[in-house]
Amino acid sequence: MDILYEFQDNLMSQVNDSFFRYLLDDLNWNQRMLAIKGARGTGKTTLMLQYIKYRLKAPREESLYVTADHYWFYTHNLVETADRFYKNGGRYLFIDEVHKYPNWSRELKNIYDGYPQLRIVFSSSSALDIYRGEADLSRRVITYELPGLSFREFLVLQGFRFPNVYSLNDIIKDHAAISTAVLQQLQPLPWFKKYLRWGYLPIFTESNTEEIPSRISQIINTIIETDLSYAESYTVATAFKIKKLLGVLAASVPFKPNVSELSRRLDAGREYIYAWMQHLQRARLLNLLHSSTKGVSALQKPEKLYLENTSLLYALQAAPDVGNIRETFLLNQLVNQKHAVSLPASGDFLVNDMLIEVGGKSKTARQVKSKGNYMIAADDIETGIGTKVPLWMLGMGY
């Protein structure tokens, strides 16, 4: 197993403590089995390595990081690896990209049941349905999701100090005080425009900003051709249709889907179109918005579709519409903060009983003020007043 330890040591030497994703402190690392799901590029690998290096601080022989596509597994399996590791004093096993390993769920179940003193942390693509594997892990694993960066995290990566997160309720009550605190460090609007264009994934720290759209396009292809193809057993032809569907949606988001038309254009049944939309949402390429007056089911047509984040918009469109950018950002941040968001009869979004209308600095409450509880999320303003709050501030929530 020296090969695996050398591989781990090499990766560990490249990790520093200059920035930690918020999830590092939110995870209950004492669980016997943890799953960290997330789209490619969100920082799952770095999160695990930082925990081993800076928080766990166990002796070298007690912790081991492996990636499921390492060539070690051409001739060894996970159970055998865990057995050798455990018998040599191992107690903390970290498995990256488990979705690339055949029979992953059955072998993880065997490891969990057979080595009760071993703690297991594994990461997977967000496209993978962990509870739908060959073996039942539902009673064994606790799952966490790692989304892309919030605007707050983006600013921290730029060297600013924002240790506090601000919930939606904090912003409603104290947005003026929050603006004052932020303005003591920076003018938010120029940084916000950079974030919207290329700041959602931490890959910007290792790329020129001009290269980011092409890197995101590569990530999209990998998600569809590899992650989704594995998770949903796609053929090459199906993967091509999925990419075509995403291209159609990207050209016209926010998109009010005509499923019959999409079915005709893609030469696929309506049930496949519905399923593919769900798959793209689970893979964190789309956000689906349903009506507040209807239930949500796998075969229900969403009222509107959005790309999952604004960096995707800039990667797939030459000049995204500014209104689309604003709505995409806000929906993304609300979803990432675990709010249940739906489409109201009036206004852009409904969160619990609050209507949210999105617009520029001159946006008024004309459409929603007669509906009760509401908020205007206005772009291009540093500070708000009353029910009008700065749009950028909704990115300070995690």
What pLDDT was estimated at residue 306? Answer: 96
Query: pLDDT digit string (tens) for 124-179?
Result: 988 887 766 656 788 899 999 999 999 999 999 999 999 999 999 999 999 999 99
Provide the b/e sequence for 234-248 (b: ≥16 CB within 10 Å).
Answer: beeebbebbeebbeb
Helix axes 236-250, 259-266, angle to 10 degrees: 130
> How many residues in total does the chain contain?
398
Give percent of the chain with pLDDT exceeding 90: 81
In sequence order, the 6+-apart residues with CB closer than 8 A to the CB of 236 are none
What pLDDT was estimated at residue 346? Answer: 87
Query: Using omega within 30 degrees of 0 as the cis cutoff, is the peptide bond preceding 254 cis?
Result: yes
**What residues of the chain score a pLDDT lower than 50?**
none
Residue type, 386: G
Give the integer Cα–Cα distance in Å for 185 and 233.
Answer: 49
Give the integer Cα–Cα distance in Å for 116 and 327.
Answer: 47
In sequence order, the 6+-apart residues with CB closer than 8 A to the CB of 14 are none
Pick the CATH number of 2-145 from 3.75.10.10, 3.40.50.720, 3.40.640.10, 3.40.50.300: 3.40.50.300
Residue 262 corresponds to which tokens in the numbers above? 């999409």
Torsion angle of C-alpha atoms 251, 252, 254, 256, degrees rounded to 10: -130
| Residue ranges of domains in the chain | 2-145, 155-395
- 55, 24 contact by CB (below 8 A): yes
DSSP label at residue 302: P
3-state helix, strand, coil in the chain (%, to 5): 50, 15, 35
What pLDDT was estimated at residue 167? Answer: 96
| Run of H or E including 193 | helix 188-198
